[in-house]
Amino acid sequence: MRTKFFAALAFTVIVFSHSNLSAQDAIVQEGEFGVGLGGAHYFGDLNTRAKLNRIKPAATIFFRKNFGNYIAARIGASFAQVGYSDIHNTHNEYMQRRNLSFNSNVWELTLQGDFNFFRFMPGEPQYNFTPYVTLGAGVFSYDPYAFLNGEKIFLRPEGTEGQGRANVTPARKPYSTMGISFPIGAGIKYAINDRINIAFEILHRVTTTDYLDDVSTTYVDPAAFFDPASQLPPPAAYYLHDRSYETGEPIGIAGRQRGNSKQKDQFVTAMFHVTFNLQSYRCPTAN
């Protein structure tokens, strides 16, 4: 009888120890390193109807730290090229006559919070998929440019709305090359296995600048850029501030609306992500 008791006790200890070891050796997904590729689009003074007809390349790298199976924080660096032209505004004769265009390379750093709708546990078939939402804040740089007679010209130094020119009243200051963004978006992600995930995400940014496209307020007098009595040739700004001369009679009268300063510029990215899980071996939490 005593022999059977000790045998049973030994068996119980062995089973308990094995279960405890297995729990401690459980795989926990601590975070992810990810990369993404996709497209970007701009919305603003040259694209007032939110058309999606000038998609340009975008890319990102990021690190996501998981706080359980539903919540994570992400820090990322992204690149997006944006641009548009008034030639696409076929619905508005004035905008077509305005004939402005731009491109800009946007470099962005963001901090975001991600919230999964379902429990997400890579390596567990019943928990390998979830939709999610994300929101946060970021800072980005931009530098719009256009082409004049085939030459690439950066628009900010030109002061196309009279910025930085002493003969413009009231004075207009040059706009910053930096802006703040507030990304908000949604996506879906799927764990291929316990090591690799794939995702698709759409991320919209509201920004604090109206000069992503170099267009915001009103035209200024062309004399602010060029004195006809001068022996010097007109600067590039003279031709870039009002390009309606390429479509007919110039419309850039001083004080006439060139853009809408009450509406800040925005842009959106849509990307496919591949992420690689960082794992630890310890007892996972219930959440």
Convert the pLDDT of each residue in 223-276 to its tens digit: 899 887 787 889 999 999 999 999 999 999 999 999 999 999 999 999 999 999
Question: Is residue 201 within 8 Å of 186, Cβ to Cβ?
Answer: yes
Q: What is the reported pTM?
A: 0.86
pLDDT confidence of residue 283:
57
3-class DSSP state of 216: coil
Strand 178-191 to 27-43 pairing: unpaired
Strand partners, 132: 116, 187
- Cα 113 to Cα 111: distance, rounded to the nearest angstrom: 7
- Cα 26 to Cα 31: distance, rounded to the nearest angstrom: 15
pLDDT band at 287 (very low <50, low <70, confident <90, very high): low
pLDDT in tens, 124-149: 999 999 999 999 999 999 999 999 99
Q: What is the DSSP string of 62-86?
A: EEEEEETTTEEEEEEEEEEEEEEEG
Residue with tokens 């689009």: 41
What are phi and psi for residue 274, nearest 5 degrees? -125, 125
Residue with tokens 């479509």: 247
- pLDDT of residue 16 exceeding 90, the answer is no
Q: Which two tokens stand for residue 275?
A: 């992420």
Average pLDDT in the chain: 90
pLDDT in tens, 28-54: 778 999 999 999 999 999 999 999 999
- Which of 3-12, 59-68, 78-87 is least confident? 3-12
pLDDT confidence of residue 30:
86
Radius of gyration of the chain (CA): 28
Q: In terms of Cα–Cα distance, which of 33, 26, 16 is closest to 74?
A: 33
pLDDT in tens, 72-104: 999 999 999 999 999 999 999 999 999 999 999
